Amino acid sequence: MIGKTTEEKGHSVYDQIFELQISYFDTKTTFKQRIKVKNKGNFIIIAEIEYMTCSGSKCVLGFEDIEFEI
């Protein structure tokens, strides 16, 4: 990987329960990560996504692995 993952701006609000600024996206967003390719053959990138989705009364943590064939 080259550098840090970047993301779209989204929204940012202060959450009184967590006592910090929280960023969120309404329906979807795009994350980007630069990589350095070390060989010319096809390969697969496995990415781990960690997220939290909240309603007015509770929050749920989620984890997913996704694969990108390059």
Nearest C-alpha neighbor of 22 from the set 48, 51, 64, 2: 51
Question: Cα(33)–Cα(58) distance, rounded to whole angstroms?
Answer: 31
How many Cβ atoms from other residues are within 10 Å of residue 25's Cβ?
13
Q: pLDDT tens digits, residue range 2-40?
A: 999 998 988 999 988 778 888 888 888 899 999 998 888
Secondary structure (DSSP) of 11-53:
EEEEETTTTEEEEE-SS---EEEE----SSS--EEEEEEEEEE
Residue 56 has pLDDT above 80, yes or no: no
How confident is the model at residue 66, as a pLDDT? Answer: 93
As a whole number, mean pLDDT of residues 56-63 equals 86
Domain residue limits, the chain: 2-69
5: three-class secondary structure by DSSP: strand
What is the model's pTM? 0.62
